Amino acid sequence: MSRAKFGFLGAVAISAAVFASAAPASKAWAQHAPDPNAAYPPFKIGEGLYYVGAADYASYLIVTKAGLIVIDGGDAPTGTQVVKNIKTLGFDPRRIRILLNTHQHFDHAAGLAEVKRAAAADVKFYASAADGAIVAAGGKGDPLLKGARFEYEPVMPDVTVKDGDEVSLGGWTLTAHITGGHTQGCTTWTFPVTVAGKVRQALDLCSASVLAGYKLGKTETYPSQTADYQHSFAFWRSQPCEVFIASHGQFFNLHAKRAALDAGKADAFVDPSGCQAFVTQAEAAFRAELKKQNP
């Protein structure tokens, strides 16, 4: 199985219930771009916030008065697209001052090296302790995904973020929230952004997926994984999550919302109810898997 195929069919799989909410967008996308790394035109979500990722592997650009911030690099081919998309939008990748990551899996971290090469000489890469160590090892050390097809060019974190840490640049402040489970150091980023003339709270959800092969309950893939998932669901439920984005486009109906944006709906990505519905369905899938493994 190729890495790209694993990324689409396995790495983002939560359950049929979760994908049901995204069915129209996912179905339309599958007809035209079955490759999650397929090129995707960049676009503006809100003031200073842009989508610069691929058809499913997400990446975001934040434009500040002191330079650029990029969240996630996608898979290795996505990294090349991220740099190209930033240029397409009219920005200089050499102004990237901060590079952030949601989690260490190849489909979000393998492109970081390419983005960092294009960035400013003094760019800083921020990552959680648990996931940063695996990114620094090029994907080696993951408790489940082992072997060459899951490895990538390593990137050494410059700064380790803890839960609640803030990252600031040019008037923007993003807060790191360690929402483990999918990976031990999975990091959700929150920040205010102006959309359609109103300041909203954005939430870039790391991942709620339970990968095939994860062990939960009495035996765990990594210690405290079950508790980490439970903590993460409680956190996500507690957040306003007005602008709902995530590490995979299909988590938040990227394609349908992009179409609505193009049709004139300026606040297409303001979707607190969709965010909560996603979290509710993902948590139900997690609890079903937990019960299955621990009857």
Give the separation between CA 240 and CA 100, rounded to whole angstroms. 22
pLDDT of amino acid 15: 31
pLDDT exceeds 70 at position 19: no
pLDDT exceeds 80 at position 186: yes
Percent of the chain exceeding pLDDT 90 equals 88
pLDDT of amino acid 34: 64
- DSSP-assigned states of every residue in 187-251: EEEEEEEEETTEEEEEEEE------TT---TTS-SSTTHHHHHHHHHHHHHHS---EEEESBGGG
Q: CATH no. for residue 185? A: 3.60.15.10
Give the domain range for residue 206: 3-162+175-293
**What's the mean pLDDT in 6-22?**
35
pLDDT of amino acid 57: 97
Task: Give a yes or no: residue 169 inside a domain.
Answer: no
pLDDT exceeds 70 at position 22: no
What does the pLDDT look like over 273-287, one tens digit per residue?
Answer: 999 999 999 999 999
pLDDT of amino acid 8: 35
pLDDT of amino acid 276: 97
Q: What residues pair up with 214 in beta bridges, in sequence order?
A: none
E strand or H helix at 125, and its extent?
strand 124-128
Task: Give a yes or no: residue 131 inside a domain.
Answer: yes
Give the separation between CA 293 and CA 287, rounded to whole angstroms. 10
Number of domains in the chain: 1
Return all residues near 171 (Cβ < 8 A) that are at least 6 apart.
64, 65, 66
What does the pLDDT look like over 82-124, one tens digit per residue?
Answer: 999 999 999 999 999 999 999 999 999 999 999 999 999 999 9
pLDDT of amino acid 173: 98
Q: What residues pair up with 187 in beta bridges, in sequence order?
A: 178
pLDDT exceeds 80 at position 24: no
pLDDT exceeds 80 at position 16: no
**What's the mean pLDDT in 157-175?**
98
Task: Give a yes or no: residue 181 inside a domain.
Answer: yes
Residue 177: strand, helix, or coil:
strand
Task: Give a yes or no: residue 168 inside a domain.
Answer: no
pLDDT of amino acid 2: 37
pLDDT of amino acid 28: 39
Task: Give a yes or no: residue 214 inside a domain.
Answer: yes
Query: Beta strands 67-71 and 243-246: pairing type?
Result: unpaired
pLDDT of amino acid 36: 94
Locus of tokens 């996912």: 26
**What's the mean pLDDT in 205-210?**
97
Task: Give a yes or no: residue 167 inside a domain.
Answer: no
The rounded mean pLDDT for the chain is 91
pLDDT exceeds 70 at position 53: yes
pLDDT exceeds 80 at position 26: no
